[in-house]
Structure 1
Amino acid sequence: MILLLVLSLPLLGYVVYKQTRKGVASSVKTLEYVFIVSFTLSFLLFCCGLMIYDADYHKAIDIVDGGYSPFASKHLLSLLTFFFLAALGLLMLWLKGRKMPPLLFVLMLVFVLIGIPISAAVFCQVTYNTENYAAWMFGFLPFVYIVTTVAVICKCVVEEAAVANDKVYRNKVLNYLNQKMSNTKHQPFYILILMVPVFVIIVAILILFGQESDSMTKVFTETTTWRFSTKTHPPFLDHQGHYLCTVAVCGDPKVVKPLRLGLRHGHEIIVNRQLLIANAFEELIQENLPGLHRVIRGFYDKYGYPLSKKITSQQGSNLVYRLMKPLEYFFLLCLYMCSTKPEEKIAKQYSQS
C-alpha cells in the first residue's frame, strides 16, 4: 500500500502540474516536471545525509552511529544562504525569464551563476571520503543544480526576448541602471561585473549574523574525512567492543588515566589500563572457555551497548570507571593466576603494530 502511494504521488503531481501550466507545450511540461521532481528528491536526500552525517570534526563519535559532516556547522549558514539565493534565482528565471525587468533579471542570473562554482565545490567535497560514507546522498543535489541551471539559462537564451525597455522607475539611479541593462548585448558583461560586488555584499550581511569573512572556504575545510578536510577527528568510540572505550575517551584524564591510542576494527581508540585488563580477561576466557565466552559476549552486547549510549558526560564516565574498579581487580587476579605472562597479554591489547 505504501509502495503504491509512493509511486502514485509523482503521477498525481504531474496531472496537477499540467493543469497549472496552461499554454505550455506538453513536451516542455514533461521536461520541467522531471527537473522539479529530480531537484526535490535530491534536496530531500541531501537533508537526510545531513541528519545522518552531522558530527563536527572535534566530536568523538561511535563508528556505527552516523559519521562526520562534510560541512562545518559553524559556517553552514553561509552555504545555506547562497543555496537559497541560487534556488530563488532558478525559480524566478524559470517562471518569468526575460519577462523580468532587466535589473532583476541580471540579479537573479548573478545568484544562479554564483551557485555553480559553489555546487561544484560541494560535489568535489562529497565525492571522496576516508570512511566509506554514503556520499551519493549529497552528490545528487549539486549535480542536479548544475544541470538545471544550464537548462534554465538555455531557456532564457532561446526564449523570444521580451526585454523591458519600456519599464520606467521613479528612482533616477534605478531607471538609469534599467536602461543600461535592457541592452541584451551588454548583459553578459554586467553579469560578470556584478558577481563580485553581489558576493561581497552577501558575505558582509552574513558577517553581521556571526559568520566569518572566509566562511565559504571554512565550511569545507574545517571538517574531517572528506576531500577538502584539513582537521583530524578524535579516535572513534567503539561501542561494539567495550563500553569502557567511552570511559577512556570521555572521562576526566586525572581519573580514568588514558594511556595511549589503540586500534580496533581499523579505527583508533583511546585506551586506559582498565580497558586493557578487561579485554585481556575476555581473551583469556575466549581461549580457555569458548562456550562461556559466547554466553558472556551475548549478554554484554545486549545490555552493554545500550548502557554505553547513556555515558555521555565526564561525570558519568568517571562514575562508571570507579564502579568497575572491583571488577578490574578481579580480572587482574584471574590473569595473574591463569596466564604465564599477564603483563605482556595486557600490553598487546589494541596494539597498532
Structure 2
Amino acid sequence: MLVLFYIAIILIPILGYFVYKNIRKNADNTTTLYEYFLIAITLISLGLFAIAWGMSSDDYYTAIDIVDGGYTPMATKHLTTLAVFLALSVWSIFALWLKAERLSPILFVLAILFLIYGFVISIGLLIQFGSNTEQHGADYVMSLLPFCYLLISFSLFVKISAKAQIIAKDRVYKNRALNYLNGILAKSNHLSLWMIALFIPVFIVIISILMLFGQDFNSITKVLTETTTWTFSQQTHPPFLEHKGHYLCTVAVCGDPKVVKPLRLGKRHGHEIIVNRQLLIANAFEELIQESTPRLHKIIRNAYDKYGYPLSKKITSAKSSNLVYRLMKPLEYLFLVVLYLFVVKPEEKINKQYAI
C-alpha cells in the first residue's frame, strides 16, 4: 500500500494550501494560533494515518505474514459507507468554518447534522483503533486522526452554536420559502430539538442512497465489526503465514484441501498455523539434521531462509500451492525414508512437530 503513502504526500500540501487560502476569506478575515495548530496537527495525522493504514490493509479472510503488515481496522466491503459519511463531515467543517454566515437555513442545519455524524463515527473509530491484539503501534498512530476530528468538530460546534441565532436574525432571503425557514430558525430557542428531529430521517436517506450502490443497511457498523484483531472485530483470521519459516506453511494454508490435505492447527513462534503431513515430515527431517550435524543444519537453514521465504511470497493462489505440494512429493518421500532409517520412533517425531 505504498500507493496510499505517495497519494498522501501529494495531497497533504495541496490540502494545506487550500485551507490556508480559504481561511483568509473568512468573514472577519482573521485566524487564530489555535486554528493554525489544528490545521497542522490534522494534516500530519492524515499523513501518518495513510502510512499506518497502508501497513494494515488486509481483510480478515486473507492469510498474511504478520511481519509484513496487519489486518485492516475497516472492512473494505463496507468502506464506501464510512467514506461518504466522513466526506460529508469534512464538508460540514469547511462550510461552517469558512462561510457559516452565508449558508442557507437548510444547508446550515445539514452541516450541523453531518458534523455530529462525524463526531459519533470518530468516537467509534477511536475505540476501534484503541486496541490491536497483533500489531501494536499502528493503533496509536491511527487514533490521532479521529482525535483531531473530535477536537475540531467540538470547537466548531461550540463556536457556531453561539452564533446560530444571531446569524439567522441578520439574514434576509428573496426566496419566500428560504426566508420562512430562516425566520423559524431565528425565532427558535430550541435549535437542538431541530437537530434531533432531523437526525434519524437524514441518516435513513443517506443509507438508502448507499444501498442503491450495493452497500448494506448496516454497513456503518459492519465496517468495524467485519474485521479481525481490533476492538470491535467479530471475525477470525486464517493462521499467519510464517515469516522465514517453511514455504510449505504457505502451501498448507493456501492450497486446495483435497490436494494438500491439511491435518490440524499447529503453533510456531506464538502464532497458529495450518499443518499438513508434508510440512510435518519436512520439519521433522530438519530437526533430525539439526540434532545430528548442527553445522550442516546452519548452512542449510541459511540457504532455506534466503530462498524459501521469497518463494513463499510468490505462492499466492491455490494452483501455485498445489503445484509446489506436488513438486515436493519426491523430497517428502526421501525425508520419510531417512526418518525411518535413523529415528527409533519416526511417527512420534513427526507428530510432535508444531504441537500446541
Common fold: TM-score over 0.5: yes
SS at match of 1:262: strand
- 1:99-110 matches, cutoff 5 A: 99-110=102-113
Structure 1: distance between partners of 2:256 and 2:348:
27
Confirm or deny that 1:270 pairs with 2:268: no
One-letter amino acid of the counterpart of residue 308, structure 1: S
Structure 2: distance between partners of 1:321 and 1:38:
51
- Give the Å deviation of 1:293: 1.1
Task: Point out the more displaced range, 149-158 or 73-82.
Answer: 149-158
- Alpha-carbon contact 1:75-1:219 (below 8 Å) kept: yes
Gaps of 5+ in 1: 1-5
Confirm or deny that 1:73 pairs with 2:70: no
Confirm or deny that 1:90 pairs with 2:93: yes
Structure 2: distance between partners of 1:48 and 1:183:
48
Q: Deviations over 1:138-174 (max 9, x none)?
A: 20111110011111123224559332554325363x4
One-letter amino acid of the counterpart of residue 304, structure 1: G
1:312 corresponds in structure 2 to 316
Confirm or deny that 1:163 pairs with 2:168: yes
Indicate which of 227, 237, 243 corresponds to 2:241.
237
Q: Deviations over 1:79-138 (max 9, x none)?
A: 111111011101111112344333221110110011111110111111012113321122
Task: Point out the more displaced range, 74-83 or 125-134.
Answer: 125-134
- Give the Å deviation of 1:50: 2.3
1:139 corresponds in structure 2 to 143
- Alpha-carbon contact 1:98-1:159 (below 8 Å) kept: no
TM-score (norm 2): 0.89
- Alpha-carbon contact 1:101-1:163 (below 8 Å) kept: no
Structure 1: distance between partners of 2:171 and 2:161:
20
One-letter amino acid of the counterpart of residue 34, structure 2: L
Indicate which of 209, 214, 217 corresponds to 1:213.
217
1:3 corresponds in structure 2 to none
Cα 1:151–1:232 change in 2 (3 A) is same
- Give the Å deviation of 1:183: 3.0
Cα 1:165–1:309 change in 2 (3 A) is same
TM-score (norm 1): 0.89
- Alpha-carbon contact 1:99-1:164 (below 8 Å) kept: no
Gaps of 5+ in 2: 1-8
Structure 2: distance between partners of 1:61 and 1:19:
44
One-letter amino acid of the counterpart of residue 280, structure 1: A
- Alpha-carbon contact 2:70-2:135 (below 8 Å) kept: no
Indicate which of 36, 54, 58 corresponds to 1:55.
58
One-letter amino acid of the counterpart of residue 96, structure 1: K
Confirm or deny that 1:42 pairs with 2:49: no
- Alpha-carbon contact 1:70-1:224 (below 8 Å) kept: yes
Indicate which of 222, 226, 229 corresponds to 1:222.
226
- Alpha-carbon contact 1:123-1:139 (below 8 Å) kept: yes
Q: Deviations over 1:32-87 (max 9, x none)?
A: 11111111222222222222111111111112121111111111111111111011
Structure 2: distance between partners of 1:336 and 1:208:
63
- Give the Å deviation of 1:188: 2.0
1:325 corresponds in structure 2 to 329
Identity %: 54
One-letter amino acid of the counterpart of residue 95, structure 1: L
Confirm or deny that 1:341 pairs with 2:345: yes
- Alpha-carbon contact 1:71-1:220 (below 8 Å) kept: yes
2:189 corresponds in structure 1 to 185
Structure 2: distance between partners of 1:183 and 1:329:
87
1:284 corresponds in structure 2 to 288
One-letter amino acid of the counterpart of residue 130, structure 1: T
One-letter amino acid of the counterpart of residue 172, structure 2: K
SS at match of 2:274: strand
Indicate which of 235, 253, 266 corresponds to 1:249.
253
